[in-house]
């Protein structure tokens, strides 16, 4: 009676049916844990086989936001919590699709199990301090490395199955690994074109809307004490698959824009906070100096050794007596005592320079120094080149998303910004260059060299802040 001609229930009946489906499900075989973001999370027996391994439990020793807790004290949540959260949201997302379009999409147990496992295992391959390891440390010690935590996640999945003799269908395992690397293999030919919409759920390389973002945006905002009014459940309960692609009601255009804008705000205020970046630069230097002795980078292709790396490496360096680690120990001690690299200044790259802008290096700063009584060296300077976007560089990610008019219509279409609002941005990327002095006494000299660089590049000083020394003199 209440069903539309295309087999999709209108929203009120759909929500009611979804509720009864969840309540009536037999959960006697499921273990439940309480999560401070999503409430009760129910873990199935197959997923528990992976969770109850030392390789997965390693995620408890890896903070989700790395060293951000040095600035936001509450940001001590871990990759373990996040992985459980993504598992649960992946489960809820496919439940929504199964309830609303199950017969039409032929969603079966195989599909449900692969999506849930992909959500659970997607971050297995992260290294110590997460993105710092992959984007900060490895490029310094392995020039041109193509290593990614997504591919290491796939290697660790295989290792866990072999090491713990987990009885699991090889087709499920293969599909899980495909889903994990989906976001970084966007242009690669797909091994299977069947039910491609399933690859949009955990790591969406098509348009960036996935349950991974749903979880970390809410979880990170909560941990850092920031408000988050993005309602991801509204999107999950209204999405629909059309032509093998997850689409959204056109009326949710601004809701989706808020998803990307909230993510960008987190990058600006939390992930790339000037103090956070100073601490990260120091830790990268410490890891680079310790690499030859500890051979950290030698394990990145060997899952049997790699899984032993986690955030506790900082304590290993800090407490080791070896003289080879003295420089690294000194840097970590400076972090503990808040004797950080000193922020000199920053500037935002002008909009018309974004397309061809190249990262600034310490060499660029040193070469811009005028004759003074102080001679700067590259090792005295640290530079952070920050890029903040809406996931697609200087492109609007909403152009990659398809919408539908209502639940009775069968077509999908893109929506342009000017049809929604004239208040939306015309540029979708910020690039910020920050410069730090590794020695307090060089702050003013490095700041002046940085100003000279801006004059040479843009003809004006792009920065809007005084240097720390000038602020002190003014006070």
Q: Annotated active-site positions, please?
A: 149
Residue with the two structure tokens 């997965």: 56
| Degrees, nearest 5: CA angle 294-288-299 | 45
CA nearest 385: which of 350, 366, 361, 369? 361
DSSP 8-state class, residue 123: T
CA nearest 203: which of 187, 189, 186, 190? 186
Rounded to whole angstroms, the Cα distance separating 475 from 463 reads 20
Rounded to whole angstroms, the Cα distance separating 416 from 12 reads 29
User: According to DSSP H, which parts of 165-273 are helical?
Assistant: 170-180, 211-223, 232-236, 253-266
Structure tokens at 436: 């730090």
DSSP 8-state class, residue 341: P
Structure tokens at 105: 């999409």
- Whether 124 and 55 have beta carbons less than 8 Å apart is answered as yes
Q: Are strands 245-249 and 403-404 parallel, antiparallel or unpaired?
A: parallel
């Amino acid at each position: 009676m209440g069903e539309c001609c295309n087999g999709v229930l209108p929203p009120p009946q759909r929500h009611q049916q979804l509720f009864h489906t969840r309540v009536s499900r037999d959960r006697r075989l499921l273990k439940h844990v309480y999560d401070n973001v999503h409430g009760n999370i129910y873990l199935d027996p197959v997923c528990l086989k992976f969770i109850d391994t030392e390789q997965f439990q390693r995620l408890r020793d890896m903070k989700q936001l790395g060293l951000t807790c040095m600035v936001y004290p509450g940001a001590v949540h871990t990759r373990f919590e996040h992985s459980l959260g993504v598992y649960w949201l992946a489960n809820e997302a496919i439940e929504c699709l199964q309830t609303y379009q199950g017969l039409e999409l032929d969603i079966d147990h195989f599909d449900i199990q692969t999506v849930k496992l992909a959500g659970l295992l997607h971050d297995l391959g992260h290294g110590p301090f997460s993105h710092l390891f992959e984007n900060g440390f490895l490029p310094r010690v392995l020039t041109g490395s193509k290593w990614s935590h997504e591919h290491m996640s796939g290697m660790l999945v295989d290792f866990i199955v072999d090491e713990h003799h987990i009885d699991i269908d090889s087709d499920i395992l293969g599909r899980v690994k495909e889903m994990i690397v989906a976001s970084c293999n966007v242009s690669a030919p797909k091994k299977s074109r069947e039910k491609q919409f399933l690859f949009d759920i955990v790591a969406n390389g098509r348009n960036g809307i996935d349950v991974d973002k749903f979880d970390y945006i809410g979880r990170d905002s909560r941990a850092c004490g920031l408000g988050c009014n993005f309602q991801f459940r509204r999107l999950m309960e209204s999405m629909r698959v059309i032509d093998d692609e997850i689409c959204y009601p056109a009326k949710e255009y601004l809701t989706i824009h808020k998803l990307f804008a909230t993510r960008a705000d987190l990058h600006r205020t939390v992930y790339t906070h000037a103090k956070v970046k100073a601490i990260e630069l120091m830790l990268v230097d410490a890891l680079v100096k310790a690499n030859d002795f500890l051979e950290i980078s030698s394990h990145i292709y060997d899952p049997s050794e790699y899984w032993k790396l986690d955030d506790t490496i900082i304590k290993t360096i800090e407490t080791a007596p070896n003289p080879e680690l003295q420089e690294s120990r000194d840097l970590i001690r400076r972090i503990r005592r808040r004797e950080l690299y000193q922020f000199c200044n920053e500037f935002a790259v002008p909009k018309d320079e974004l397309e061809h802008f190249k990262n600034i290096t310490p060499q660029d700063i040193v070469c811009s120094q005028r004759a003074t009584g102080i001679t700067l060296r590259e090792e005295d300077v640290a530079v952070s080149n920050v890029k903040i976007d809406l996931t697609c560089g200087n492109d609007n990610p909403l152009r990659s998303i398809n919408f539908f008019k209502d639940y009775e219509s069968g077509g999908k279409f893109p929506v342009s910004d000017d049809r929604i609002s004239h208040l939306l941005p015309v540029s979708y990327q910020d690039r910020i260059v920050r410069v730090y002095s590794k020695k307090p006494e060089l702050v003013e000299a490095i700041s002046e060299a940085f100003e000279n660089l801006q004059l040479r590049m843009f003809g004006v000083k792009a920065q809007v802040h005084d240097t720390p020394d000038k602020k002190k003199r003014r006070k």
